[in-house]
Amino acid sequence: AMAGAKAAAVATVAAAVPTLASVRMLPWAKAHLNPTGQALIISTVAGMAYFIVADKTILSMARKHSYETAPEHLKNTSFH
């Protein structure tokens, strides 16, 4: 969960800067992206980053722990 939160914080900043800058500089963005649209873009990126990183972390921990508790005959991956 902490890795996901850290990724969400980084993604929020990474999405907020170009979104807010484009609204100030690009005529199309200024005309079509109201504050609600801007917030939706930024929060969607943050949510996606959180779930992607959290999912990867959970899966890697599950793989690690399933290997540690596996019987010895399953841990032997050599092809002799």
Read off the pLDDT of residues 22-77 as tens digits, 9 standing for 90 and up. 999 999 999 999 999 999 999 999 999 999 988 898 888 888 877 677 777 777 77
Amino acid at 62: A
- Asked if residue 53 lies in contact with residue 10, where contact means CB atoms within 8 angstroms, the answer is no
How many helices and strands, by DSSP H and E, does the chain display? 4, 0
The answer to whether residue 80 scores a pLDDT higher than 70 is no
Q: CA-to-CA distance for 38 and 69, rounded, in angstroms?
A: 47
Residue of 8 and 75 predicted with greater confidence = 8
Q: Between helices 35-68 and 2-25, what is the axis angle to 10°?
A: 160
Q: Model's pTM, two decimal places? A: 0.66
Domain boundaries, the chain: 1-71
